[in-house]
Structure 1
Amino acid sequence: MMEEAELCFPQINTSCRKHTRPQSESMLIYFLLSFVSLLTVILNLLVIISISHFRQLHTPTNLIILSLAVSDFLVGLLVMPFQILLMEPCWLLGDLVCVLQYFLAFIIVCSSEVNMVLISVDRYVAICDPLHYSTRITQRRVKICVLLSWIYSVFYSFLILNENLEKPGRYNSCYGECVINIFGTVDIVITFLLPISTIVILYLRVFVVAVSQARAMRSHITAVKLQSSVTVTVKKSELKAARTLGVVVAVFIVCYCPYYGGSLSGNEIMMGSSLNAVIVFLVYINSCLNPVIYAFFYPWFRKSVKVIVTLEILKPHSNETSVL
């Protein structure tokens, strides 16, 4: 009877065994994870409403930030709750739901990575080729790139999880387990090394150009003196945007490195262990940190949140409100 009580499904011989933890520890974990999930949803919803509603914020850069906020919002709304369930001793929702929730997570996380690359490209053109920025980075082109990024994320997630989707539960060692199998080498190259390398290279170039421009402004060289004050202001705003989004990218790399660091051996990754769940949740916490960074560095976000919270957004023509 004692052995049956320790099984996830006592009526099934191949059932997994329960691993129990102290109730106080479980309550603390569930409270923290639930709080982070709720906070992620609320903060990213504010970003989505702000950029979508206020006409002043309809810029190419903000469209990419909007796409990133949608990804982060879905992480808090759909991915984190399932991750909390994975912390339970037993998976009770079946093999199909297990694979589908991983499939959804892969799509959302992959889209976040592609959005980070798009942000880096946007800042690269804005800082390194400002004269052609308005013609090369248009809203139409950004919308197309964002759409393609989501299509790519779905396509890649389907390829990497194809075997798991064809036969859910094929890699489970016992009934009541939620485990998938992916090829670590392929995943780490496509979803980590390539995007991170691209981001780092572009931002190094942005950093070099930004430093040279800052020195030029401080030394008041002839080229800067001949420019109008408006042009200088635009340059300063672009540099500030590059710095802010650089912080976003840096936090992104820090949050993702532990997850992909375990894959550097090139072996296949067996997902579903407790340690893996903690590392994966660190990836998801990145979705909560992004809007926090916006709140600290973007005045327009603080102003728009004030308009939303005070319900001034419900007034007629509130979309014309100045938040810059």
Structure 2
Amino acid sequence: MLTNQRQIHYDRQVAYWLLLCAAVIFGMIVLGGVTRLTGSGLSMVEWKPLMGIIPPLSEEAWLATFEKYRQFPEYQQVNRGMDLAGFKYIFMYEYLHRVLGRLIGVLYFLPMVYFAVKGRVRAGMMPRLWMLFLLGGCQGLLGWYMVKSGLVDNPRVSQYRLTSHLGLAFAIYAYMLWLAFDLLFSRGAASQQRGGKSLWLVALIYLMILSGGLVAGTRAGFAYSTWPLMGTTFIPPGLYSMSPAWLSAFEDITTVQFNHRIFAYILFAVVHAFALVVWRRGLSGQGRVAVLLLLAALWLQVILGISTLLLHVPVWLAASHQGGAVVLLSAALYCAHVLRRQAG
């Protein structure tokens, strides 16, 4: 039977491994944004889960791969006339994105098996680790399901599938980070026995991220490059003009961008009100740091979002905005975890 000190040591090992995996997923989310923003996501028209890790290695192989791409709508409608050098550029982004996904699977699965065999996983934690692994597999399938939607008549992936793919990536990241916090700060399942009231803010930020997925999927970010007005007015004409009206929230670019902006304003106000309320309750040093980190992450994300709009969605800035969403969610998770511990 493990001594308490040894269990703490093992908990830290597992937590650091989870944090490493979460950091790589962070990179994966940002790279996914770059892949989308550079129009690279449909450059690989086949899904080979095992052999797909080997890229074209000869000029003949590159030409054959390029010829396959030329048979699909994106080349015929968007990139007609693209040369082989241009194809290699977009292909490599999508290739790296897929290879990194496989790397995450290996980086997660092999240490998980090692820790389990060595008896270093705390009782009750193993089912959660398996759940993360299964969710990772589902993410790979969902990614291909998303890509397939752009290989038909319309060379654009479905905004619904893109948002689902993005949302699952953030959910995996968030759950992984939370388990690591449990192991590092709560010695296992202790914090899970306390109320989950502090997680409502995390849920609100997650919904905001899904809203951003719809903006990305509909390319609504390119529609209005002005702030705080949309064009010449705060409330643009044509909102909810589709029939039925609710469909506009998912498919009309004006409504999608307007909703994302309003959601951002609401979240900005709610986070500041939340910070003020919890600060007045008298926080410990760690609690104060957690709230300040949350506010800093929020302001960073707001600045990145406004700058992305005003500069008409440059790749580096839009990718930074997507990364900022990860930072904000991380800060909210950390703040929630700290507050739960202090409440207990």
State the TM bucket, normalised to the shorter chain: 0.3 to 0.5
Q: TM-score, normalised on structure 2? A: 0.36
